[in-house]
Amino acid sequence: MAGLPYIVGNWKMNGTRAMLNEARAIDRAAARFPKVQVGIAPPATLIHRMRESVDLIGIGGQDCHVEENGAYTGDLSAPMLKDAGADFTIVGHSERREYHAENDAHVNAKAQAALSSGLAVILCVGETEAQRDAGDAEGIVTAQLEGSCPIVDGAPEKLSVAYEPVWAIGTGRVPSVEDVAAMHKAIRAKLVAIYGDAGADVRILYGGSVKAENAAELLAVPEVGGALVGGASLTAESFLAIVGAAVSLVD
Ligand code: PEP
């Protein structure tokens, strides 16, 4: 596993100020888990308040624009996320790729913009069900990496990749541990091909219906360095159960 296990919650378009209580509870618990890195990507409207409410956990955006500023109504730039208190941002989530027509070139530029602004990046890749059924899953995911991985000077220390099969997101379905292992191995090989030795240190997260019941099994798979969690990150109770599974693997 490259670095500490990293458990990240993606709140998507969920959460108003009342939900900061969940973040506070997660932050308090994080003090007991120094060997696990924890982050939450709330809606952008909560980044600043969350920054003022927590001490230990990382806070992230869910997307960023490629430009620093300009006439892009409704968008947020990486420097703005940073200014609001974000430490990282997700880019290339399948919901952005699908509903906002983002392709690998956009994702690459967004990752580049985020890293240039000092944000860490979680870059998402993953195949659709039809692509997996056609036997193309590894080819699709490695092609996504080829197109979306930012070219950085030196080691991409602030880059994590999240493998999220599109058909597993929010569906309660998860790939077999064998399929997760095979895909993470293929992703690792591609990262080493892109970045050389530094590619061995890029953290690869698994995402897609991670819950308390399956977290330990998924996190124990070789090359799984953590989890990107959607639905189960919305309450401290369900999210901390997943963090607890990571703790039990490193303790
Ligand atoms: C996600 O959207 O990043 C995700 C993993 O969602 P869920 O855990 O709800 O499948």
Q: Express each pLDDT in 54-68 by its tens digit.
A: 999 999 999 999 999
Provide the whole-model pTM: 0.97
The verdict on whether 93 is a catalytic residue reads: yes
Identify the DSSP state of 168: G
Model confidence band, residue 177 (pLDDT cutoffs 50, 70, 90): very high
Strands 120-125 and 159-163: parallel
Binding site membership of 210 for ligand 1 (Cβ less than 6 Å): yes
What are 124-159's pLDDT values in tens digits? Answer: 999 999 999 999 999 999 999 999 999 877 668 899
Query: How far does residue 175's CA lie from ligand 1's centre (Å)?
Result: 13
**Helix, strand, coil tally for the chain in percent (to 5):** 50, 15, 35
The verdict on whether 138 is a catalytic residue reads: no
Q: Which atom of ligand 1 is nearest to the CA of 124?
A: 3
Q: Are 209 and 180 in contact (CB under 8 A)?
A: no
E strand map for the chain: 6-10, 37-41, 58-61, 88-91, 120-125, 159-163, 203-207, 226-229
Q: How many other CB atoms sit within 10 Å of the CB of residue 246?
A: 26
Q: How far is CA 174 from CA 122, 140, 164, 206, in A?
A: 20, 18, 10, 10
pLDDT value of residue 153 = 72
223: left (phi over 0), alpha (psi -120 to 50) or beta: left
Indicate which residue's Cα is closest to atom 6 of ligand 1: 230
The domains found in the chain, sorted by start residue, are 6-247 (3.20.20.70)
